[in-house]
Amino acid sequence: MITGSIVALVTPMHVDGSLDWAALERLLDLHITSGTAAVGVTGTTGESATLSVPEHMAIIRHCVDYVSGRIPVIAGTGANATREAIELTRAAAEAGADACLLVTPYYNRPTQAGMYEHFRAIADAVAIPQLLYNVPARCGVDLANDTALALARHDNIVGIKDATGNMERARDLLARAPEGFAVYSGDDPTARELMLAGGHGNVSVTANVVPELMAALCRAAIAGDAEEAAALDERLAALTSALFLEPNPIPVKWALAHLGLIGPGIRLPLTPLDHKLEAVLRDALAGVTA
């Protein structure tokens, strides 16, 4: 089981929107040396919604090949079409990914029964550890705890990324989850609380920018060191807030470009950070990285 800080990695791009492989390798090296527990690629923060299927598969293969076992790779392979999700998950397994992250089917708004059958079909089709990903604010559907826990009985479904920010629900998941089923936060502002309650880690946007600090926060919270975790969380609070001033990954890509780690590329329909917000994010960065 992976525990700790799992970065929800951005996908670096050139100004024209083409993939920047050299910058991607720099980011992977940064996380390998900064205490990050695993890299999550081709997810929400990685602009998966704008990647073609060949690009999606190529990024996963490139990351797996480049890290060469130095850090686990969790591949985002979810889709709102079950057949496409199976295709992506199978490709990730063949590429050597350590696990897959599968978002709830967006736009077509399936029922709980539909989501159960969707995830079960993928788990039946591909023998790789799979994490459910519930993010109602983006997807328009909400995977109920009862549905997630029913899916947890499948051997290939090993955990969930809960991005609801709802601690009552998270505690219920933790209380009822079977042994070996991991519960990760997908919400930086409430991640500390979830991990102190027994969660196994944080799939983090903030970790893109300050990987060592997020790794330290996760270690402290998972170990039950509430005082140290609170101090680190307070130090990160302004930055975490600023990274969500506009839809993710707009602010985090601006921050990484400001730090010289990637170029400014981002794909439509996302646009560069509003100039009026740059000073807020610049100050938040300075407060943490100084």
Active site amino acids: 133, 161
Tokens representing 289 are 């990285």
**3-state DSSP percent of the chain in helix, strand and coil, to 5:** 50, 15, 35
Answer yes or no: is 147 a known binding residue. Answer: no
Largest Cα span, the chain: 50
**Cβ-proximal residues to 246 (8 Å cutoff; 6+ apart), any chain:** 273, 274, 277
Question: Is 45 annotated to bind ligand?
Answer: yes
What DSSP character marks residue 112? H
Alpha-carbon span 29 to 173, nearest angstrom: 34
CB of 226 closer than 8 Å to CB of 207: no
Q: Is 288:236 a contact under the CB 8 Å cutoff?
A: yes
CA 112 to chain centre: 23
Report the C-alpha gap between 254 and 273 in whole angstroms: 7
Q: Are 85 and 78 in contact (CB under 8 A)?
A: yes
Residue with tokens 């400014």: 264
Q: Are 195 and 201 in contact (CB under 8 A)?
A: yes
Amino acid type, 67: V
CB 160 within 8 A of CB 183: yes
The annotated binding site for pyruvate is made up of 45, 203
The annotated binding site is made up of 45, 203
